[in-house]
Amino acid sequence: MQSVQFTDEDVGKSVVNGDGDEVGIISAVEHGTAYVDPDPGITTKITTALGWEDIDDEDGYPLQEEAVATVTDDEVRLASNL
């Protein structure tokens, strides 16, 4: 995917994994970086897979550009290798 520039319009979009399972939502966007609020049921699995286990951020976790496969009007799909 080409460079991803998130905007405030992306707040509230579902974040789904490569299998289409919802793993969280975009909770905030700051300076083009989206922050994900992970689904509490799978927080440990996702945070570990994305290297966020030591991060504590009230807005959520920053979504790295290389983790994004596609962005649509309704969702952000993560790369299937996560």
pLDDT at 56: 53
- pLDDT (0 to 100) of residue 78: 94
**Is 52 within a domain?**
yes
Per DSSP, what are the bridge partners of residue 22? 16
* Cα atoms in the 13 Å half-sphere on the side-chain side of 63: 39
pLDDT for 59 equals 63
Q: What domain range is 29 assigned to?
A: 8-78
26, part of any domain: yes
**The pTM is what?**
0.74
The answer as to whether 3 is a domain residue is: no
Asked whether residue 57 is domain-assigned, the answer is: yes
2: in domain: no
In a domain, 50, yes or no: yes
Of the candidates 11, 7, 9, 8, the one whose C-alpha atom is nearest the C-alpha of residue 24 is 11
Strand, helix or coil for residue 45: helix
CATH number at residue 22: 2.30.30
Per-residue pLDDT of the chain (82 residues; tens, 9 = 90+): 457 889 989 988 999 998 999 888 888 889 999 999 886 556 655 665 575 655 555 668 899 888 999 999 999 999 987 5
Total domains, the chain: 1
